[in-house]
Chains A and B, each alone.
Chain A
Amino acid sequence: MSKSGAISLTNGAALAAGGRSATEGRAPRPAGVWRSWRKLAFDPGAQDDFFLPDLCAPRMVLAVVLVSELLAIAFALAQPGGAAFLTDLARISLFVQWLGLSGAAVLCYSRRWLAGLSVPLAGSLAFMLLLGNTALLSEAAFLLGRNLSERGFNNTLFPTDHWAFLLRNQGICAIVSAMLLRYLFVAHQWRLHVREEARSRIHALQARIRPHFLFNSMNTIASLTRSDPSRAEEAVEDLADLFRATLKDSERPLRMKEELELSRIYQRIEELRLAERLKVKWRVNELPMRAIVPSLSVQPLLENAIYHGIEPLDGGGTVTVDGAVEGEDVVITVGNPLATELNGSARPGNRHALENIRQRLRLAYGDRGCVEVRETPERYEVTLRFPYEE
């Protein structure tokens, strides 16, 4: 997932540029790359699922420069004496900027490759790459200094203590890289979490109000308004009752009687639309009407049974609702025939509603509440089981 986002964007830009280049005869590659950088940096949709950001993006390059400079200032301030602060700062800045930007470039180019690995492995490899980069550059700086002094430049800019210089830099680099990588990881986790939360809220809302049902009912009412105004009026009242129950705090449990009434209201609305194609067989006389049930537990099952079972069936069919008390448990089973290739078109599943009920039963009753699904090629049955309480 993560890689493909970035890669396809880059390819997209390159393709767009490539299309033109056929006529110009020369690939305007820098422009294409620049465009894809801009896209990655400014298009929030281009954010992908890898914790290392694209460090080649202009915004990130600026951030790298800023962080490096802040580090350089901190190091300069920590120098003993302090008389030569500006000279120190200039010298340290030069070196730290060099390290920072080259480190960013190394990570930028290895990013695609790292994104394919597990997070701990990618993190450790990124850490090693930064250490290696620092080691190479430190060695290069030392060699350059020695070379210059051999030619007679008496230069205080360059380090003279070879191994101490290298080790110091490794230590600093290790601490700073570890902190930065940790920060990037946590920030990325937080972004993922926010996105996930927003998505699950929408799913929860759709599990309660299925847009398909809402708009179909509106259409039915629009039709009945002229052909049968009194039935249209009833349908509006039914829809209002149903939505009132749906939008109410779902934590408040209902009596069995109320929950079954909601399911019947739902059935009435769907009957207007599906006419004789929908039949529901209620065998719930054994159910204790005073029992407490989680709100909207039976109605969504009926809704699922109609949406996935009856609607795709050519000639319609019968939904069965069976209720019983088994020992200390209330058991309710909703079953529907399934469309096969011969008599209709199967409809792809939407498991939000079922998952939602399962979670709510678990919240309310722990291990004593459960949802079971039995599926054969011709039939689909969901059973709710929860303790009988009054």
Chain B
Amino acid sequence: MRQPRLDVLIVDDEPPARERLERLVAELPDWDVAGSCGSGGEALNLVSQLNPAVVLLDIRMPGMGGVEAARHLASLPAPPAVVFTTAYDEYAMEAFDARAVGYLLKPVRKERLEQALRQAGRLSASQLLEVASADEHTAPRQNIAVRVREELRLIPVKDIQFFRADHKYVTVHYAEGEHLIDESLKVLADEFAPEFVRIHRSILVAVAHIEAVEKDAEGKPVLRIRDSRETLPISRRRLGPLKRSLIAA
């Protein structure tokens, strides 16, 4: 008995590369092309709509690259499996090999493609984080993905005012509101330094959104955020480093 055919989403910014992958997938007996697109951002939308089993993601794309797109996908409730594709990218290949993350070299051979699709696994957020940080050429993410019902919404990092950790969760605060995200403050602090600084055990602030550092009624240092009525507590031992980074900025 035949297994039902599984869907594949193809993401590559170069039309010929996309066409070739579409054709190769269509020729495989167990797989179907669910769709294809040319950027990481579109891929996030299409994944929510099409629910493919596997996404073939090009690493180098203008705007959002493959590794960043995969990190956003990993935050979906039922993320698709991901296989990266690249023509040549020695840093990324090293990082993938070291963490058993699947990738295909272009031009892709049909047998390899079939094998990779069959073995494709879901990548965990921590696996992808390791890949991203192993490669010094990968820039920090430019967006933070939040889940609104079943869809992913991207918040540009430059719009984010601060992150606050609260028990197990972290909330991201930006001009239009706040959202829960499933990431640790430490990871965020490492990724977005020096644009974001820790001012408190549980608060990470965007330097660009700081309006003033002042004292509250009890004489404790607090921080005011631009275009927001929020004041945030500053812990004593972080006051010095904070002032230094404000002067540097």
Contacts and interface: CB of A to CB of B under 8 A. Distances in A.
Interface of A: 211-212, 214-216, 218-220, 222-224, 226-227, 272-275, 311-314, 339, 341, 343-346, 348
Nearest to B40: A345
B91 to A, nearest CB: 10
A223 B62 contact: no
Interface centre among B16, B62, B65, B105 (most CB of A within 10 A): B16
B142 A216 contact: no
Contacts of A219: 14, 16-17, 20, 87, 106-108
Given A215-B88, A215-B105, A216-B106, A314 B63 contact: yes
Main secondary structure of the interface of B (DSSP, over half): loop
A312 to B, nearest CB: 5
A91 B13 CA distance: 79
A345 B17 contact: no
Contact of A227 (B19, B62, B63, B137): B19
Contacts of B161: none
A192 B140 CA distance: 35
Nearest to A232: B16
A227 B142 CA distance: 36
A212 B88 contact: yes
B77 interface: no
A300 B147 CA distance: 44
Interface class of chain A by DSSP: helix
B116 interface: no
Given A274-B14, A311-B62, A215 B19 contact: no
Contacts of B63: 314, 343-345
B137 A212 contact: no
A205 B90 CA distance: 16
A274 B62 CA distance: 11
Interface string B6-18: 0000000011110
A178 B119 CA distance: 62
17 contacts: A212-B88, A215-B88, A216-B17, A219-B14, A219-B16, A219-B17, A219-B20, A219-B106, A219-B107, A219-B108, A222-B107, A272-B16, A273-B16, A273-B17, A312-B62, A314-B62, A346-B139
Contacts of A275: 14-15
A338 B88 CA distance: 22
B60 interface: yes
